Amino acid sequence: MNVVTSVDYGTSIPNNVNLADDRRVLKALEKWHPGYIDWWMTMGPEGFQNNPVYLRTATNADVGGWAKFDYVKMPDYRWGILLAPQDENRTIPCGEHFGQPVWQEVPGEYRAMMRRLIVIQGDTEPASVEQQRHLGTTAPSLYDLRNLFQVNVEEGRHLWAMVYLLQKYFGTDGREEANELLRRQSGNEDAPRMLGAFNEATPDWLSFFMFTTFTDRDGKMQLEALAQSAFDPLARTTRFMLMEEAHHMFVGVTGVQRVINRTCQAMVDAGIDDPNDIDRVRALGVIDLPTIQKKANLHFTLSLDLFGSEISTNAANAFNSGVKGRFREDRLTDDHRLTSDTYPVLRPIDGQIKLVDAPALSALNMRLRDDYVKDCMKGIDMWNKTIRKAGIDFEIVLPHVAFHRQIGEFSSIKASPTGEILSDAEWEENKDSWLPTKADGDFIDSLMVSEFEPGKFAGWISPPKMGIDNRPGDFEYVKL
Ligand SMILES: [Fe+2]
Ligand SMILES: [Fe+2]
């Protein structure tokens, strides 16, 4: 079989799925395209649509050298349909069909479940673009402005990726769902996005960096689960998306690190060694570490909610049918069926948080969330290294998973960041020291002033260690 990897830019929609010979799908996508551009112009980045931005565009689905960088105006970005190369010997990695050849079409019995998962994933992609649309005007540098737009155009491409699957494999239903994806809007009262975290505001750049650290990482975990799907086109699509997703988390983790670094340097220069001396630190025009911790608390917990209920029959069914797998299923060494296994789940029982064994199949959301928390720690460790290096006595910690939850086992209780169950009164009394307040937001907002001179950075954030695509420090990432 011919494994197409290089991208065909000859059709109106760049692709490596041979759209030129698939007229029906090409037509359907061409019909959807104007609505997408319309959405991009009205709900995508505010301003800057006519400015050349130094962006990467995927050119090849092989891992080595898969993208090229060049100046492009965002509406001219070549959003394409890109799947990772096909592995002809791939077999179903989990569930009751374990070991059978993967599917190239969707089996009728799993159609509804599969469509729902693709739609939920697809809905998050444009949502984050909408959430971030106001940020351009307050970018702390051209470097950061470029990174924001890179993330935005790639989330747009991820929407295309899901829409391709809907249009190709789900007939009329798929077409309707593709249109709905352009109709719902983040935070819209009548037609909100499907998941809570994607209807929250991203009011400032620290929120953006936290979002790309924590919420894009949830996206990574969901994509990792779908990358194990028995439905091979979905697995290949998501594997390619994961290559782009890695950059989004890089933007987030290094973004927060640069904020922390700047704060620590300013404190050292001013001779302030108490990180809780918030007024003095803020007077230096940088964001104090306790406020950074609060922002992390908020975005981490909103992202935990995206994993759904710890105990879930839907998750069991999706795994059992092979529609999605566990994180890195193909590298795990158990029987991949889990019919008689258990998994430890945290639950509130008799006023205490306890770890109890649950059937492993029902506990798959909990397991994915555990993998997510481990993955988050890499970023946290990096942040703390920066604080330690500056000699400041402070540590960013991830709050307990019971803290500030709206979904799952802990949604019915109130807990502290260290996992003590609280009364409503205790929660009310302390919540402002754990989550960002209006005053914290106002302070951060006061720092959000654009810096658009090449090589210059706003005073609350350090320059990056290296430029994008190895460009020098004063490179003009966006031509204004
Ligand atoms: Fe994405
Ligand atoms: Fe992303």
Least confident of 15-19, 103-107, 307-311: 15-19
Closest among 306, 291, 25, 70 to 174, alpha carbons compared: 25
| pLDDT > 90? residue 11 | no
Sheet strands (E) in 241-351: 342-349
Reported as a pLDDT band with limits 50, 70 and 90, residue 10 is: confident
| pLDDT > 60? residue 4 | no
CA of 26 to the centre of ligand 2 (A): 26
Instruction: Name the pairing type of β-strands 52-58 and 414-415.
Output: unpaired
CA of 158 to the centre of ligand 2 (A): 8
Q: Distance between CA 199 and CA 123 in Å, rounded?
A: 11
CA of 243 to the centre of ligand 1 (A): 10
Span 454-462, average pLDDT: 98
CA of 418 to the centre of ligand 1 (A): 31
Q: What angle do CA 179, 182, 185 make, to 5 degrees?
A: 135
Q: Distance between CA 287 and CA 445 in Å, rounded?
A: 11
Question: What is the per-residue pLDDT across 158-212, written as a single tens digit (0 to 9) for each?
Answer: 999 999 999 999 999 999 999 999 999 999 999 999 999 999 989 999 999 999 9
Q: Distance between CA 101 and CA 387 in Å, rounded?
A: 50
| pLDDT > 80? residue 90 | yes
CA of 215 to the centre of ligand 2 (A): 8
Reported as a pLDDT band with limits 50, 70 and 90, residue 1 is: very low
Q: What pLDDT, on a 0 to 100 scale, did the predictor assign at position 2?
A: 38
Helix (H, G, I), strand (E, B) or coil at 91: strand
Ligand having the closest approach to the CA of 124: 1
CA of 103 to the centre of ligand 2 (A): 27
342 backbone dihedrals φ, ψ, rounded to 5°: -125, 165
Question: What is the per-residue pLDDT across 323-369, written as a single tens digit (0 to 9) for each?
Answer: 999 999 999 999 999 999 999 999 999 989 999 999 999 999 999 99
CA of 35 to the centre of ligand 1 (A): 19
* Whether the Cβ atoms of residue 294 and residue 278 lie closer than 8 Å to each other: no
Span 269-289, average pLDDT: 98
231 backbone dihedrals φ, ψ, rounded to 5°: -80, 100
CA of 162 to the centre of ligand 2 (A): 14
What are the CA-CA distances from residue 94 to residues 113, 281, 321, 322, 402 (Å)? Answer: 16, 52, 8, 6, 30
Roughly how many angstroms between the first and final C-alpha of the chain, as a whole number?
47
Span 144-168, average pLDDT: 98
Q: Distance between CA 10 and CA 21 in Å, rounded?
A: 12
| pLDDT > 70? residue 379 | yes
Ligand having the closest approach to the CA of 222: 1
What are the CA-CA distances from residue 198 to residues 64, 178, 296, 369, 407 (Å)? Answer: 33, 18, 16, 18, 14
CA of 101 to the centre of ligand 2 (A): 30
Ligand having the closest approach to the CA of 125: 1
166: Cβ–Cβ under 8 A, 6 or more apart, which residues? 115, 118, 119, 122, 174, 175, 177, 178
SS (H, E, C) 12-25: CCCECCCHHHCHHH
Helix (H, G, I), strand (E, B) or coil at 114: helix
Reported as a pLDDT band with limits 50, 70 and 90, residue 58 is: confident
Q: What pLDDT, on a 0 to 100 scale, did the predictor assign at position 12?
A: 84
CA of 465 to the centre of ligand 2 (A): 22
Reported as a pLDDT band with limits 50, 70 and 90, residue 65 is: low
CA of 244 to the centre of ligand 2 (A): 7
* Whether the Cβ atoms of residue 175 and residue 167 lie closer than 8 Å to each other: yes
To the nearest whole percent, how much of the chain has pLDDT over 90?
A: 94
| pLDDT > 60? residue 420 | yes
Q: What pLDDT, on a 0 to 100 scale, did the predictor assign at position 56?
A: 94
What are the CA-CA distances from residue 405 to residues 41, 301, 401 (Å)? Answer: 35, 6, 8
Ligand having the closest approach to the CA of 155: 1
CA of 349 to the centre of ligand 1 (A): 37
Q: How many Cβ atoms from other residues are within 10 Å of residue 129's Cβ?
A: 22
CA of 353 to the centre of ligand 2 (A): 33
CA of 212 to the centre of ligand 2 (A): 7
* Whether the Cβ atoms of residue 59 and residue 67 lie closer than 8 Å to each other: yes
Reported as a pLDDT band with limits 50, 70 and 90, residue 457 is: very high
Which residue's entry shows tokens 């086992």? Answer: 409
To the nearest whole percent, how much of the chain has pLDDT over 70?
A: 98
User: Whole-number mean pLDDT of the chain?
Assistant: 95
Reported as a pLDDT band with limits 50, 70 and 90, residue 3 is: very low
CA of 153 to the centre of ligand 1 (A): 10
- How many residues belong to the chain? 480
